[in-house]
A and B are shown apart, each in its own frame.
Chain A
C-alpha cells in the first residue's frame, strides 16, 4: 500500500491539539450500514417485544395496588360521590396521618424491624450451614434427615398451631430450665411465651416459616459448587469450618442475599406467628391485629361521612394499613437488589 494515501491530512495544528481529516465513507453511508440491516431490525424487535411484555406483566402486578393507593387518599365524602373513580375529588392525608399517629406506626415498625432483622440473619446463616452439611458430606441417615426437612416444609404450621402454642407456653427441657433458675436468671418469669424467644428458637433450629425452602435452596446451590474449591482449601491447610467461612460463604453471597430478602420480608409480613406467639398488646408489630385491623378513633368518627358506604371506607383504611406495612419492604428491596447483581465478581469460580 502507498503510505501517502492512508496518512491523515492535517487540517489544523496547535500546541496540544490536532485536527485531522481521514479518508472515510460519508456519514450517510455509515449510518446506512449500521442501521439498515437485518440484524438491527431483529434487535429492535426483540427489545420492543421484551419491553412490551415486561410492561404488561408489571401492569398486571401493579393494577390491584392502584385502586388501593387511590382509595388511601380519599376522604370519606369521596365514597358517596358517584363520579369519583380512581382520582379522589377531595384528596386527604388523614388516613395516613391517623394510622401513623394513633396506631403507633413507627413503634410497630421498629419492633417489626428488630424481630425481622434478627430472625432473617439467624435463618440465613443457619440454613446455609445446614444446607452445606446436606450438600457436601456423605453420612448415614442423610436421606432420612433431608426427608424430615421436607416434612417440616410440607406440613403447614397453621395445622399445628395449637400444639406449637402449647409447646411454648410450657416450654422446658425436662424441667431443667425452671429447676436451675435459668428462666428467672434470664428474666423470663412468665415463661418464654409472649416474648421474641419462640420465634428466635424456631429460627435457630431451622424450623421457622418456610425454612425448609431455604435449606433446599442452599443445598442445591452448594451441590453446584465444584469440589475442587474445598479440596484445594484442605490441601492448603484449612479445616472444614475455616473453609466454610472463608471460601464457601463469600462465594454464596447472591444466594445468601436472596434467602435473607425472602426471610426478612416473610417475617415482616407474617401474621400467623406474631399473633399466635405474641398476642399480648405489649408487643406491637405491624402485623399485630392491634395495628392493622383496628380503626383509629378519629377515623371511626369520620366514617359516618361516608354514609351508606362506610364499610367500603373501613376496607380502604385497612388497605392503607397494608400499604404502610409493605412500603418499607419495597424501599429496602430497591436498595438491596444492587447487591444482588454483583456477587459473582467476588466468587471463586473464575473460568471453570
Chain B
C-alpha cells in the first residue's frame, strides 16, 4: 500500500523523470532477501546437502566399507525397491500390520489429538491470563511440561513407572493407579462407559471420550508450548480494546469471540502447524518409533529413509490442508495483503 501511494506522488510531481536505480518494490524485495539471508546461507551450505543425502539413501543400498579398506561407504542404486519392501513388504508390529497400514490408522488419532491440544491450550492460556490468586505459581507449573517435553527428561520419563511398579508390587496398596501414563487410566474407563451407556450415544463416541480422559496427562504435557505461545499472544492484545468493549457493554463471551479470537488467530495458525509437526514427528509417536527402530544407532539405512520420506509427504500434505483451512478465519491487523 505504501509503495503505491508514494509512487503515485512521484509520478504527479515529476512525471517525465526517468527512474534511477531500482524501484521501491525491487528495493523492498531486496531488503526481504537480506532479512532472510542467514537462513538462505545455512540452507545452501549446511542443510541442502544433508537432506539431499537422506533423500538419495531412500533410493539406494547403503554399505559401510570397513576401515581396513579405507573406510567410508558405498551406495548402490536400487530404485523404488526400498519403498516397496518397507511400505508393504514387511510387518512392523505384532498385529501384522504393514507400515503403510499403520501410518494411515494412526493418522486419524493424530488429527483428533491436534484439535484437542489446540482447544485445550487456548482455554488454559485464557484462564492463566486472568488476574487471580497464585497465577505465578500456576504459570510456573504449566511451564514444566515444556521442559519435560524435549530432551533428557523424556528419556528418563520412560523409566519413571519402573519405580512405581516396583513399589506397587511390593505389597497390596496400589499406588501406580494415578501415575500419568497411557495405560494407567486416571479414571477407570468402566465408570465412564456406564455413565454414557444410558445416554444412548454411539459406542465409538464413548471410546473416544474414554480415551481422551485416560490420556489427559499426555494431552497436558504436549500442550505446554502452545500454551506459552498463546499466552504471549494474549499479552500483546492492547488492554484498551477490552476496556472499550466493557464500556460498550459486551459480555465476556462476546468479547472472546469478537476480540480475543480474531486477535489471537495468527497464533492459532502457528500453533496448529507446530502441533501437527510436533505430534507427527515426536519420538513417542508409534510411526516415528517404527521409523527410528529400523536403524537404532544412526547408521544411514535405505529403508529408513524411504519410510521417513513417505511419512513426511503425508505430514506436508496435511500441513497444506491446515494452512488452507486457517486462511478462512485468520485475521491480520493490516488493511490488505
Interface residues of A (CB under 8 A from B): 47, 50-51, 53-54, 57-58, 60-65, 67-68, 71, 79, 82, 85-86, 126, 129-130, 132-134, 136-140, 142, 145, 148-156, 158-165, 167, 173, 201-202, 204-207, 209, 212-213, 215-217, 219-221, 223-227, 230-231, 234, 240, 252, 254-255, 257-258, 261-262, 265-266, 268-272, 276, 286-287, 292, 309, 311-312, 315-316, 318-319, 321-322, 325-326, 329-330, 333-334, 337-338, 340-341, 343-344, 347, 349-352
Contact = CB atoms under 8 A, between A and B. Distances in A.
Interface of B: 1-2, 25, 28-36, 38-43, 45-47, 49-51, 53-54, 124, 127-128, 130, 132-133, 136, 138-148, 150-153, 155-157, 159-160, 162-164, 166-167, 170-171, 173, 175, 178-180, 186, 216-217, 220-221, 225, 228-229, 231-233, 235-241, 244, 263, 266-267, 269-270, 273-274, 277, 281, 283, 288, 291-292, 298-300, 304-305, 308, 312, 315-316, 319, 332-335
9 contacts: A50-B130, A63-B179, A130-B39, A139-B28, A162-B298, A220-B269, A255-B233, A270-B151, A330-B143
Nearest to A342: B235
B232 A255 contact: yes
A57 B267 contact: no
A156 B279 CA distance: 12
B171 A82 contact: yes
Contacts of A221: 233, 236, 266-267
Contacts of B304: 159
Contacts of B162: 311-312, 315
Given A85-B167, A137-B31, A140-B29, 4 more contacts: A64-B160, A270-B152, A292-B156, A352-B238
A134 B36 contact: yes
A239 to B, nearest CB: 9
Nearest to A286: B152
A164 B236 contact: no
Contacts of A349: 238
Given A334-B140, A337-B136, A50 B127 contact: yes
Contacts of A62: 141, 144
A227 to B, nearest CB: 5
Given A154-B281, A154-B316, A206-B39, A326 B32 contact: no
A276 B273 CA distance: 28
B217 to A, nearest CB: 5
A60 B186 contact: yes
Contact of B54 (A159, A215, A325): A159
Contacts of A47: 132
Contacts of A223: 266, 332, 334
Contacts of A286: 152
Contacts of B335: 227
A271 B151 contact: yes
Contacts of B166: 79, 309, 312
Given A62-B141, A138-B28, A347-B236, A158 B41 contact: no
Contacts of B239: 344
A184 B231 CA distance: 47
A161 B315 CA distance: 20
Contact of B29 (A82, A138, A231): A138
B49 A158 contact: no
Contacts of A341: 235
Contacts of A268: 147, 151
Contacts of A156: 281, 283, 288
A164 B138 CA distance: 39
A269 B159 CA distance: 17
Given A162-B300, A269-B152, A330-B140, A227 B2 contact: yes
